[in-house]
Amino acid sequence: MKNSDRNELRRRFVKDNSISRLALCYVNSSREKVVVQNEVFLNLPEEDMFKYLDIAKKSLSGNIGDNLLELSYTGKQEEEENYRFLLGLRESGLKNEELIDVLFDKIIECYVYDGNYLITAIYDTYDVPVKTTDKMKLDESEESFSYIIVSICPVNQTKPGLGYLPLENRMGAREKDWVAGAPDAAFMFPSFSDRSTDIHKVVFYTKDTAQLHEEIIDSVLGCGTKRTATQCREVLKSAVSEIVGAENKEKARNTLLEIHDSLNSILEEYQAEAPEAEEERPLDRIILTAAVKDVIKDDAEVLKIVTTCEEEFDREPPSAELFVDKKALKKAEPERREKELVKEIETLKTQLKASDDGQGVSIIVPADRVDSIRFEEIDGSRFVLIPISDEEEPVIRGR
């Protein structure tokens, strides 16, 4: 499932929708069913409907490959009880009370949570409109995508306080209340890939990308699992920290960022060579070795980092893109550019000091800084002034 697929579904969760059923179960901290409901979705009060639509929308939110994982079933797994149960649940359109009770029981039995929580399940059928090559929608539909979204939302108690009492038209004390929050975990079956039904996959959502709810994947879905992007990067981070030294956090951070940058450059080169390729490129030994070796020059240390990652992902290497922390790279970009400028300025300073013999000096600066360079004569000496950033005045670095 791509971002475009996910976003197309999320845009459907509005007032005018085709969701037909809603089933829910409110569970207390003792794992007891407090409330169980199953009703026609469009019969809900409008305010309630929007709350459940919001839960469904958040169940398909976050980053694909991190918060959202598309998990696959093998041929053997599709013959097992969990997969056949999901097929039956979807085909029933959430009208089979017995199947719904089994779903709730499966989740209650395995879900690890100490407090109260709400389980919601919706059923929807989407008549997928045909699109032309220029992405314009047509009215005709060639396929109906029928799916369920099951969400698990923690329910927490609000704090008492002052609030507006509409019936009395005054401010007054409000009692504590129990309110359902955003989903902690969710899944959509089947997957929606390339705007079409993929019955061999399920989309799993986790709010906490560092702690995947594998108990739900194993006991309810019964399919293979994957590492989130956060978990993948944590493996690489641990391997780098072991080489650099856990006590040297700043050096480990900078080394890791440089590896991310190198890996990102390598992947961009592959993309430039084959821009139409849609398949994810797994993190193989060649790519990882090239990225690490570009930063760490010691062959033994490079081998140790690569081997550690290989052993961790020996069964199924994840996509190489999952190891690139683009958000961290973007955040560190101003600092990186400033360091490069300072380094260039120090080089200029050295060259200028060595120019007393009257020889010329070649000055190499980034193209976007050329117009901001100026020369000034101070106390009989000629100086080159180069600003470090757009906000700063030029600083005398050398003559």
User: Is-contact 35 43, C-beta < 8 A?
Assistant: no
CA 202 to chain centre: 17
Q: Which two tokens stand for residue 260?
A: 């991310």
State residue 120's pLDDT score: 97
Burial class (CB in 10 A: 0-12, 13-18, 19+), 24: buried
DSSP letter for each residue of 338-392? HHHHHHHHHHHHHHHHGGGGS--------GGGGGG-EEEEETTEEEEEE-SSTTS
251 CB-near residues (< 8 Å, 6+ apart): 244, 245
Strands 374-378 and 381-386, how do they pair? antiparallel
CA atoms within 13 A on the CB side of 151: 25
**Dihedral sign computed on CA atoms, order 275, 277, 281, 284:** negative
Residue 48's identity, in one-letter code, is D
193 vs 70: CA distance, rounded Å: 10
10 vs 26: CA distance, rounded Å: 25
State residue 212's pLDDT score: 86
State residue 226's pLDDT score: 85
Q: Which parts of the chain register pLDDT below 70?
A: 132-141, 246-247, 274-280, 314-316, 336, 352-367, 369-370, 380, 382, 387-399
Q: What is the pTM of this model?
A: 0.75
State residue 361's pLDDT score: 58
CA 349 to chain centre: 44
Cα–Cα nearest to 216, from 97, 71, 313: 71
88 CB-near residues (< 8 Å, 6+ apart): 96, 99
Q: Phi first, then psi: what are they for 154, rounded to 5°?
A: -60, 140
User: Is-contact 22 38, C-beta < 8 A?
Assistant: yes
State residue 262's pLDDT score: 87
Q: Which two tokens stand for residue 206?
A: 């986790």
217 vs 83: CA distance, rounded Å: 11
Q: Which two tokens stand for residue 18?
A: 């085709």
State residue 370's pLDDT score: 67
